[in-house]
Amino acid sequence: MEVPDVKQSWPNSINEVTIGATKEGGGTRSHAITVGGTRTLPFLYFEGNIPHRPVIAMEVWDIAPTDWPEELGKYFSDVWDDPGKWAKKCVDEFEADFICLRLQGCDPDGENKGSHEAAQAVRSVLESVGVPLIIWGCGNDEKDNEIFPACSQTAAGERCLLGTITEDNYKTLVALCKADKHKLIAESPVDINIAKQVNVLATDIGLAPEDIVIYPSTGALGYGMEYVYSIMERGRIAGLSGDKMWAMPLLADIGREVWKVKEAIAPEEEVPGWGDHIQRGPLWETITGLVYLQAGTDIFIMWHPKAVKELKKYIDSLMKKNSRKN
């Protein structure tokens, strides 16, 4: 029996955003990564092309973390006193698509490192690996505005993805981005209208929409994930339907959210009946990522090598024969 056609045609496609610049592009990266460009909902090949595969950045800090679970220390504690070595291990051993350097050490409530040290961490990662780079501030607006100029200049021309700008703090980063040719992460607190508003504000002062990636916050599986999932779905549908301020690729900050929840960390002795935490932890991170993948996420930031490997394997299995290689 013939069945009605349910193919949906979307008037708009998601912006393509390229992160990382090779020599030809004015930088020193071994390759660039492009995300976005799709004109369909996730992996519906009968409807439209998905030109670029979603990518995974592994997270590196500018200081040795003191609160990462032992399960992660196993993989990183031998390198986490040196962001360059840490990044290299992620790329060489764990096949990270690229690196997210989080400047946690600059947090005024923590080690309160200065802009010189932050820039040094950026340089160290740029020198040790050839992949593109995300540079994520410490989350304190004032401090981020202080350290980012040096970081941005150190990486000038490398087309890094810098983050984050918010509704209340975007001018400094937008100016840096334009001057040094980077891209930006626009953050909003699980709110579809604010997500859009940040993009309106940034583009009003001259940032190109094609330089923006949307970060609508992230919740771990079991911890408010469904709110973000639905905002991503709504936003992606808006973007495909023609809303230019929602036509940006999506980013999910998975590792940081997952590795503080009990389901990922607690050993079985503490939570009888939950099963082996050596498996449960990375699976919790993988599945959190998977659900966001189904909502349209293009860029993942993750911590555990096993979770990275498994999600990549799944993405590859869905992408086969349908895309240019990144």
- Least separation in angstroms between CB 184 and other proteins: 23
284 contacts other proteins (rule: CB under 8 A): yes
Regarding 233 and contact with other proteins (CB under 8 A), the answer is: yes
Q: Please, which residues have CB within 8 angstroms of residue 159's CB and are 6 or more apart in sequence? A: 18, 19, 20, 21, 25, 27, 29, 32, 132, 181, 182, 183
- Selected from 70, 111, 127, 276, the binder of other proteins by CB under 8 A is 276
Taking CA 89 as the corner, what is the angle to CA 66 and CA 315, rounded to the nearest 5 degrees?
Answer: 100
- CB 251 within 8 Å of CB 199: no
Residue with tokens 């950045």: 57
Contact with other proteins (CB under 8 A) among 226, 241, 242, 316: 226
> To the nearest whole angstrom, how small is the minimum distance from the Cβ of residue 297 to other proteins?
12
Strands, E assignment, 62-106: 98-102
Selected from 168, 317, 324, 325, the binder of other proteins by CB under 8 A is 317
Distances (CA, A) of 143 to 14, 112, 148: 33, 9, 9
Closer to other proteins at the Cβ: 161 or 221?
Answer: 221
Q: Give the CA angle between residues 16, 104, 144 to the nearest 5°.
A: 65
273 lines the binding site for other proteins (CB under 8 A): yes
- Which one of the spans 54-62, 110-118, 155-163, 303-311 is the region binding other proteins (CB under 8 A)? 303-311
Q: Which is nearer to other proteins, 154 or 286 (CB)?
A: 286
Structure-token pair, residue 135: 């540079």
Tell me: does residue 224 bind other proteins (CB under 8 A): yes
Q: Does 287 bind other proteins (CB under 8 A)?
A: yes
Nearer to other proteins, 2 or 24 (CB): 2
Among the listed residues 27, 30, 48, the one whose alpha carbon sits nearest the alpha carbon of residue 39: 48
* Cα distance between residue 49 and residue 34, in whole Å: 15
Nearest approach in angstroms of CB 98 to other proteins is 22
Among 88, 143, 277, 304, binds other proteins (CB under 8 A): 277
The C-alpha atoms of residue 117 and residue 120 are separated, in whole angstroms, by: 5
50: left (phi over 0), alpha (psi -120 to 50) or beta: beta
Contact 262, 271 (CB under 8 A): yes
Give how many residues touch other proteins by CB under 8 A.
Answer: 52
Interface segment toward other proteins; rule CB under 8 A; list 146-154, 177-185, 201-209, 274-282: 274-282
Q: Which of 114, 130, 157, 222 binds other proteins (CB under 8 A)?
A: 222
- Tokens read off for 208: 């190109």
Minimum CB distance to other proteins, residue 152 (Å): 28
Judged by CB, which is closer to other proteins: 2, or 142?
A: 2
Subset of residues 185 to 214 that bind other proteins, contact rule: CB under 8 A? 189
Q: What does the per-residue mask of binding to other proteins show for 46-65, with x meaning CB under 8 A? A: x-------------------
Which region among 145-153, 155-163, 223-231, 247-255 touches other proteins (by CB under 8 A)?
A: 223-231
Distance of CA 241 to the CA centre of its chain: 24
Dihedral, CA of residue 96, residue 98, residue 103 and residue 105, to nearest 10: 30
Query: Would you count residue 44 as binding other proteins (CB under 8 A)?
Result: yes
Distance of CA 213 to the CA centre of its chain: 9
Binding footprint of other proteins on the chain (CB under 8 A): 1-4, 6, 43-46, 189, 221-227, 229-230, 233-234, 237, 260-263, 265-266, 270, 273-277, 279-280, 282-284, 286-287, 290-291, 294-295, 306, 310-311, 313-314, 317-318
